[in-house]
A and B are shown apart, each in its own frame.
Chain A
């Protein structure tokens, strides 16, 4: 199974989880996701997800100017985002448990 497809389904959750630790700009979020093990995540998918979560009201955004180069756009999680994270996290955990027990029943080595 292609992990890329799986990542797409949980990218919102992953991005919210990363930003729950601390605010970050686009590539910073990408890097933290990859460090956490989601190496298949695409840059543009993360940037698009950030924009969608922002448009949905789950994130706040601010611009940090630079002395030398272009400005950076930071995102931070807000109260609505935390509620979304908790709700989707719960759904995911239940789903993961279901899948785990299903696979255990089928005796698939993890």
Chain B
């Protein structure tokens, strides 16, 4: 493998200008004429006294291009008026000018800050990882798992290898690398945000939970049930027919039991043994008593929760008083009426009048 110096921005700009003079030719003819020209001119320019203007050394790009055409037996450039120039050719020329301008700016920046060039491999790796994160996040690959690292490292390696080859300017692979860099730069921020959000969703083993776990508010470390942003302090179960389900135990998709955390029940108890007050400022009717070992005297896994004098279906201070029966679901979604069947291991308990269909609180609805 031979060593060829990196073309200066002046050489790149000159070659780009020559190419612009050849754009009326077939692309393969242009590539034939321009292929290798950057390397040739880089070597040629290195022999010139420093600071020599390339146009004064090689002639105007238009004349250089005309000489190339003539020697290659290609027709001289047809005069093109803006009206004759196709939209595609105009766009191609505009893109080309923009590319030349950006490359020149990049070269100038690198000339001023040489350390930028040393950081390029770091960006190549970062670019690959950012782009690899997109399928990882879209496919919900578990973070920090085998597939995750496979994606990330393959992306980084491919990106590094691609740019390490350093193809000649204005080749399709070079342009692809530039496009990848732009896409990666644009995606970096949203990918980082999504990534951080997903890290927050994972459990300790790195597996992604089905839903994001929102910040639980003032009750830290609790595992309770949240409804409308507020932690439930009790749960009342009804079957599809609107009948009460008593002594129900609930589980989530991982087989974890649903419990009302101790923290959520603290307001109903008092560590010093005094009676807590409710939202109305009155002493609670049914304070939860604390056992000598500090735990609460309530089974937090069986719903409705019951403690003290409460039998489970009585409202605690200021809470909703659950009716004996609530309205049935609409016929389209309701299960067929099977009074003897219950989705819960507990038996369905109905103690009130069966004709009550309103969910409105009923003072007699206790069990």
Q: How many A-B residue pairs have CB under 8 A?
A: 112
B332 part of interface (Cβ distance < 8 Å): no
Q: Which residues of A in the span 56-70 have a Cβ within 8 Å of any Cβ on B? A: 63-70
Interface string of A44-63 (1 = CB under 8 A from B): 11111101101100000001
Inter-chain contact A69/B71, CB cutoff 8 Å: no
Q: Which residues of B in the span 54-107 have a Cβ within 8 Å of any Cβ on A? A: 58, 64-65, 67-74
Cβ contacts under 8 Å, B64 to chain A: 43-44
B40 part of interface (Cβ distance < 8 Å): yes
Among residues of A, the one whose C-beta sits closest to the C-beta of B71 is: A48
Most buried by B among A27, A47, A64: A47
Inter-chain contact B1/A48, CB cutoff 8 Å: no
Shortest CB-to-CB span from A40 to chain B, Å, is 13
Q: Which of A27, A51, A64 contacts B40 (CB 8 A)?
A: A27
Most buried by A among B36, B44, B68, B168: B36
B166 part of interface (Cβ distance < 8 Å): yes
With the chains together, A47 CA to B64 CA distance in Å?
Answer: 11
Among residues of A, the one whose C-beta sits closest to the C-beta of B36 is: A73
Q: Which of A25, A48, A70 contacts B169 (CB 8 A)?
A: A70
With the chains together, A73 CA to B33 CA distance in Å?
Answer: 10
B335 part of interface (Cβ distance < 8 Å): no
A90 part of interface (Cβ distance < 8 Å): no
B53 part of interface (Cβ distance < 8 Å): no
B4 part of interface (Cβ distance < 8 Å): yes
Cβ contacts under 8 Å, B41 to chain A: 27
Among residues of B, the one whose C-beta sits closest to the C-beta of A26 is: B40
Q: Which residues of A in the span 12-50 have a Cβ within 8 Å of any Cβ on B? A: 25-27, 30, 42-49
With the chains together, A48 CA to B67 CA distance in Å?
Answer: 7
Interface size (A, Cβ < 8 Å)?
28
Cβ contacts under 8 Å, B43 to chain A: 27
Cβ contacts under 8 Å, A27 to chain B: 39-41, 43-44
Cβ contacts under 8 Å, B69 to chain A: 48
Interface size class of B (residues with CB under 8 A): 35 or more
A48-B33, A55-B32, A66-B3 in contact; A71/B72 too (CB < 8 A)? no
Among residues of A, the one whose C-beta sits closest to the C-beta of B166 is: A68
Inter-chain contact B73/A52, CB cutoff 8 Å: yes
B167 part of interface (Cβ distance < 8 Å): yes
B165 part of interface (Cβ distance < 8 Å): yes
Cβ contacts under 8 Å, A11 to chain B: 71
A72 part of interface (Cβ distance < 8 Å): yes
Cβ contacts under 8 Å, A65 to chain B: 1, 165, 167
B35 part of interface (Cβ distance < 8 Å): yes
Q: Which of A26, A49, A69, A73 contacts B5 (CB 8 A)?
A: A69
Inter-chain contact A63/B36, CB cutoff 8 Å: yes
Among residues of B, the one whose C-beta sits closest to the C-beta of A15 is: B71
A44-B71, A70-B4 in contact; A51/B32 too (CB < 8 A)? yes
Shortest CB-to-CB span from B263 to chain A, Å, is 64
Inter-chain contact A47/B1, CB cutoff 8 Å: no
Cβ contacts under 8 Å, A46 to chain B: 71
Cβ contacts under 8 Å, B7 to chain A: 69-70
Inter-chain contact B39/A71, CB cutoff 8 Å: yes
Inter-chain contact A43/B58, CB cutoff 8 Å: yes
Inter-chain contact A64/B71, CB cutoff 8 Å: no
Q: Which of A30, A43, A54, A72 contacts B39 (CB 8 A)?
A: A72
With the chains together, A70 CA to B4 CA distance in Å?
Answer: 7
Most buried by B among A11, A49, A73: A73
Cβ contacts under 8 Å, B73 to chain A: 48, 52, 55
A55-B72, A68-B5 in contact; A43/B33 too (CB < 8 A)? no
Inter-chain contact B67/A64, CB cutoff 8 Å: no
Q: Which 6 pairs across A and B sit closest by C-beta, in order of nearness?
A: A48-B71, A73-B36, A69-B4, A70-B168, A44-B67, A48-B72
Taking A26-B40, A47-B72, A68-B3 as known contacts, 8 extra A-B pairs with beta carbons closer than 8 A to each other, sorted by chain A number, are A43-B58, A44-B58, A66-B2, A67-B1, A68-B4, A69-B7, A71-B168, A72-B2
Residues in B lying within 8 Å of A, measured CB to CB: 1-7, 32-33, 35-44, 58, 64-65, 67-74, 165-169
